[in-house]
């Protein structure tokens, strides 16, 4: 192997970022505020404090402070799994025969298996610092619930997870990881909440959805003394915590003297992409540098490429505030795609605004081609990637092949958000040749747009 930079680059403990970077501070047009669905007015801190931890509400509403110090306790926890490596994908480059240089930032090196732990530990810390007893949340495929239970175990907080019933039944291993870390895991819709009982009565035998589990988790938090609700993506505070990914990547590339041409990430609610691109987008917004930034989403849940930029509900039960975002409509239920983490109807309001202004490109990719990329990556670079992460791999490979056709040695950087050990039924369906590529029709999308609130 002819190496011009090391296969892996790590920052030293002393080089680790001491503050998160708040991309909103450099945006000329700020993301639209969350609205109270009752009054149509922006949510105040006081209203949000009933649902979320106070310090996290401050971060959610802060569009101006560029750097927010990472509390020492959080930095200490980060040391267990950070820095994450920036890897030069020499083996993949070789297999593709591309002159491009491919780098990936690997966030799967912790038990929860994804980047979600970066925000889970921050949120658990602030809940503990506020003197709370515990937090509630929902989890679909289970990555967020797993990350949050690890963080809550560390800070000695109760963790109540509403897990979408079909995942609860089909993914017993994730459920058991959460229970091992002490979380209380309830299949949703449950009979423990009013909204759960209502959904069960109206749809007997339903196996649940993310939107409905969110409604249950919010109700469980606001009706319980000493509890608040936490969320693993979409919110601006989560993008803030995830900026640790981008800050480390930026520092490592600087050490290597490498300037990226293209930065690629998968986009579900937008937290890993928002975190990875943060410092690069900051430079772009301040006119200091330019990069192509590409969001990759599943063709089965195409919020950016086929969604509307409008105010919409964040959950099916309509208990959450309204957010202005690229959305497929709060009633949109994506087909049973295997990338559970990318099946959300909306997108971060920060990324939505940047996309609307043309700072981000978006691509939608089909499931089978994503797993072809995953297979090639696993066989060359050794890591078994999560289906979500493999969306970014697909486009990184496509970009590398474009570079080959054009004879260009561009630097391609992508986020490898996690590992796929809990997604082996998805790999099984791919290996058996039984995977399908469902793409919603324009009529289906229009039916859901019609049900969106009019503001």
Site residues (vs ligand PLP, CB under 6 A): 114, 116, 143, 233, 266-272, 341-342, 386, 388-389, 417-418
* Residue 16, φ and ψ in degrees, nearest 5: -65, 145
Q: How far is the CB of 122 from ligand PLP (least distance, A)?
A: 14
Q: Which is nearer to ligand PLP, 125 or 414 (CB)?
A: 414
- Alpha-helix runs per DSSP H in 12-159: 45-49, 54-61, 72-78, 90-96, 117-129, 143-155
* Residue 324, φ and ψ in degrees, nearest 5: -85, 120
Q: Which is nearer to ligand PLP, 258 or 416 (CB)?
A: 416
Q: Which is nearer to ligand PLP, 83 or 418 (CB)?
A: 418
Q: Which is nearer to ligand PLP, 106 or 311 (CB)?
A: 106
Q: How far is the CB of 180 from ligand PLP (least distance, A)?
A: 19
Q: Which is nearer to ligand PLP, 264 or 267 (CB)?
A: 267
Q: How many CA atoms lie within 13 A of 297 on its CB side?
A: 30
Q: What angle is formed at CA 120 by the lines to CA 240 and CA 65, rounded to 5 degrees?
A: 20
Q: How far is the CB of 147 from ligand PLP (least distance, A)?
A: 8
Q: Which is nearer to ligand PLP, 267 or 293 (CB)?
A: 267
End-to-end CA distance of the chain: 58
Q: How far is the CB of 434 from ligand PLP (least distance, A)?
A: 23
DSSP string, 203-246: STT----HHHHHHHHHHHHHTSTTEEE--SSSSHHHHHHHHHHH
**Unique residue bearing structure tokens 């993008």:** 239
How far is it, in rounded angstroms, from Cα 255 to Cα 262? 18
Nearest to 184 by CA among 203, 158, 165: 158
Q: How far is the CB of 342 from ligand PLP (least distance, A)?
A: 6
Q: How far is the CB of 87 from ligand PLP (least distance, A)?
A: 16
């Amino acid at each position: 192997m002819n190496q011009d930079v090391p296969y892996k680059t790590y920052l030293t403990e002393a080089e680790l970022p001491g503050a998160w970077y708040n991309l909103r501070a450099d945006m000329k047009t700020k993301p639209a505020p969350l609205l109270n669905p009752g009054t149509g007015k922006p949510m105040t801190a006081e209203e949000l404090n009933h649902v979320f931890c106070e310090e996290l509400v401050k971060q959610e509403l802060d569009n101006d402070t560029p750097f927010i110090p990472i509390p020492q306790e959080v930095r200490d926890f980060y040391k267990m799994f950070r820095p994450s490596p920036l890897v030069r994908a020499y083996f993949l480059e070789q297999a593709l025969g591309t002159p491009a240089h491919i780098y990936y930032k690997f966030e799967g090196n912790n038990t929860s298996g994804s980047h979600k732990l970066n925000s889970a530990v921050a949120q658990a810390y602030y809940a503990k610092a506020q003197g709370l007893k515990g937090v509630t949340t929902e989890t679909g495929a289970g990555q967020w619930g797993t990350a949050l239970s690890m963080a809550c175990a560390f800070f000695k907080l109760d963790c109540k997870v509403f897990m979408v019933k079909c995942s609860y039944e089909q993914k017993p291993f994730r459920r058991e990881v959460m229970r091992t870390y002490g979380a209380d895991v309830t299949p949703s819709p449950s009979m423990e909440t009013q909204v759960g009982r209502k959904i069960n009565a109206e749809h007997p035998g339903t196996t649940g959805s993310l939107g409905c589990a969110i409604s249950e988790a919010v109700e469980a938090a606001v009706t319980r003394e000493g509890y608040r609700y936490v969320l693993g993506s979409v919110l601006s505070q989560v993008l803030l915590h995830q900026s640790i990914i981008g800050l480390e990547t930026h520092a490592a590339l600087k050490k290597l003297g490498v300037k990226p041409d293209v930065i690629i990430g998968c986009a579900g609610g937008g937290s890993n992409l928002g975190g990875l691109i943060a410092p690069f987008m900051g430079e772009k917004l301040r006119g200091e540098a330019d990069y192509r930034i590409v969001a990759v989403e599943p063709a089965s849940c195409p919020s950016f490429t086929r969604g509307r930029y409008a105010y919409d509900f964040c959950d099916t039960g309509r208990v959450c505030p309204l957010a202005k975002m690229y959305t497929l409509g709060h009633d949109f239920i994506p087909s049973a795609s295997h990338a559970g983490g990318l099946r959300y109807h909306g997108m971060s309001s920060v990324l939505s605004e940047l996309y609307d202004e043309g700072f981000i490109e978006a691509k939608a990719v089909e499931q089978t081609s994503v797993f072809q990329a995953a297979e090639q990556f696993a066989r060359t670079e050794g890591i078994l990637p999560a289906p979500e992460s493999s969306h970014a791999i697909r486009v990184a490979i496509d970009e590398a092949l474009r570079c080959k056709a054009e004879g260009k040695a561009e630097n391609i950087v992508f986020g490898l958000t996690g590992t796929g050990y809990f997604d082996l039924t998805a790999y099984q369906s791919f290996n058996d040749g039984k995977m399908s590529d469902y793409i919603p029709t324009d009529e289906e999308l229009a039916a859901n747009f019609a049900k969106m609130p009019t503001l």
